[in-house]
Amino acid sequence: MEVLNWKDIDEVKVGKIPYRDKLNDVKGISIRWLSKTGKDKDGQPEYGLRFFTAQPGAEIPIHNHFYVQTMYIMSGQFECWRFDPETDEMVEKVICGLGEFIYIPSMEPHGMRNMSETEPGTFLCCICNVYEDKTL
């Protein structure tokens, strides 16, 4: 067993995020990897728990990924977006706040922004690869 404090974990600023062979700018987001284990075929963690800090007005643009994720809002309010996977048009916009969580299925295009222009927001994000073929 290991006991750590989130403040002791290196904070890494996110600059860009890939989507459809393009790198899009991420605004005001940083991640602290609280835990991660395993590697998928691309060398990414099979499982991970991340602590995100979103500065005022921060934004994560449209993106998707193989893993599923659950984001638990710890502070602030976020506008969360779901996009049509064929057209990239926004099909859902939901406001999420303290104590709420968002589940994102594998490969679903999504994004979000911190609605406050004066206060940072935080959330935990758990990621895990899920395979249909259990033999992988």
**62-73, pLDDT tens digit by residue?**
999 989 999 999
- Whether residue 41 is contained in a domain is answered as yes
Calculate mean pLDDT across residues 43-66. 93
Which range (7-11, 41-45, 102-106, 107-111) has the least confidence? 41-45
- Specify if 9 maps to a domain: no
pLDDT for 11-27, tens place per residue? Answer: 999 999 999 999 999 99
CATH classification of the domain holding 84 = 2.60.120.10
Residue 128's Cβ-count burial label (10 Å; 0-12, 13-18, 19+) is middle
55 is a domain residue: yes
Long-range contacts of 83-86 (CB under 8 A, 24+ apart): 83/109, 83/110, 83/111, 84/109, 85/109
CA 72 to chain centroid, in Å, comes to 10
- The total number of structural domains in the chain stands at 1
pLDDT at position 133: 58
Task: With respect to residue 8, please indicate whether it lies within any of the assigned structural domains.
Answer: no
Q: Which domain holds residue 31?
A: 26-128
133 part of a folded domain: no
- Is residue 18 domain-resident? no
- Say if residues 71 and 60 touch (Cβ distance below 8 Å): no
The answer to whether residue 19 sits within a structural domain is: no
Look at residue 20 and tell me if it is in a domain.
no
